[in-house]
Structure 1
């Protein structure tokens, strides 16, 4: 294909992607038709089908880019000057990536309820994060010698991941308003407290805190 045609095709594909993102955000997964995407992109139905087999295919294209951004995050060294800085980098990176792709994430969740393909893609991405967190948890337990005294590392990792996932969904998709810095500080506090507990360090007695607050 000649360079000019290649460039024109790339621009058309990008217009379709942007139009699909807009349509999914406005109409939701179930409410979006191929016609809605084509109209927003300013192309015919025939042009749409030149690039995508159906609306599922264009969502897979969008989801693939979103997955790549998260995979890049999970693949980076989870390091910092101290544990708090490292957690701020990881959790903050997750929140920023989720916020940037919130329309895609929302549509992805909607599609997952009715199409196993999208559910499988999400679980694959989630497992990458859980596996990475599990590695960190196992490292802490190896040093502390507390492996047999706490729940399985994978379960701890899944719970920590779910906390951030659901917070991001409620905040960026459902509109539950929080200040980013206070939200990040809160998530880091809970994750950090968990790590301290796994390491065998003293952590705050939340029950006592609650009693003190009530008095």
Structure 2
């Protein structure tokens, strides 16, 4: 497995209480630290440093990250940082990888039998809220992907895996679907890319003035309608009406 492969850390697994829903990553790390009171000091120190790195990435971006600032923010000696990472880039990869894993782990879980469109809406509402609450980290993910080919590959593989799940749900909702497999995946990837592009321009580098006054749920519902049209070629069902 790649050293960059985002996966729940030991601390994340220890703090996991099966919660789902939007979160602020810095607060998530703070909650893990609070739950780690009985863990070894090395675990708690690493969480303190992760919290400091996450806060600095959120506030200043990847390129302004400095080891001295990370140690100072965590209230630790400068040399303590190097017990956990060889340099700032390794720390950023570790923290951003954990952030990506947390985004996946906190996705909402739909009740069995939930129709596809409400599931799309719930997923997009979750992602819009997480994106907006952690916009600085989302910017850092893009920055790291631009300079680290391996990290970019991980993001691409994650999107491909998500697209495959979308296609499987789409096929269950429409057993008579008459599209070749490559077009099904392409449409799902187009939906994912659309969401990423809109949220990037809305929350990371604001360029969509017409959307500035829209609330999070409005943005998510608009994107979900577009998803449904891309997949099914028609408007989504109205509320209260059963459909795939």
**TM-score bracket, shorter-length normalisation:** 0.7 to 0.9
Q: CA deviation at 1:158?
A: 0.7
Work out whether 1:105 is the aligned partner of 2:138. Answer: yes
User: TM-score scaled by structure 2?
Assistant: 0.68
Whether the 8 Å contact between 1:74 and 1:128 is mirrored in structure 2 is: no
Q: Which runs of 5+ in 1 are unaligned?
A: 205-215
Q: Which runs of 5+ in 2 are unaligned?
A: 1-35, 237-244
Indicate the residue corresponding to 1:171 in structure 2: 202
Question: Counterparts of 1:191 and 1:40 in 2: how far apart (Å)?
Answer: 42
Indicate the residue corresponding to 2:129 in structure 1: 96
Indicate the residue corresponding to 1:155 in structure 2: 186
Work out whether 1:24 is the aligned partner of 2:24. Answer: no
Q: CA deviation at 1:80?
A: 6.0
RCO greater where, 1 or 2, for CA within 8 Å and sep 6 or more? 2
Whether the 8 Å contact between 1:16 and 1:48 is mirrored in structure 2 is: yes
Paired residues in the alignment total 196
Runs of 4+ that moved beyond 4 A? 3-6, 73-81
Taking a change above 3 Å as real, the CA distance of residues 187 and 43 of structure 1, as seen in their structure-2 partners, is same
Q: Which has the larger radius of gyration?
A: 1
Question: Counterparts of 1:140 and 1:18 in 2: how far apart (Å)?
Answer: 42
User: TM-score scaled by structure 1?
Assistant: 0.76
Taking a change above 3 Å as real, the CA distance of residues 55 and 79 of structure 1, as seen in their structure-2 partners, is farther
Q: How does 1:73-152 map to 2 (within 5 A)?
A: 76=109, 81-140=114-173, 143-147=175-179, 152=183
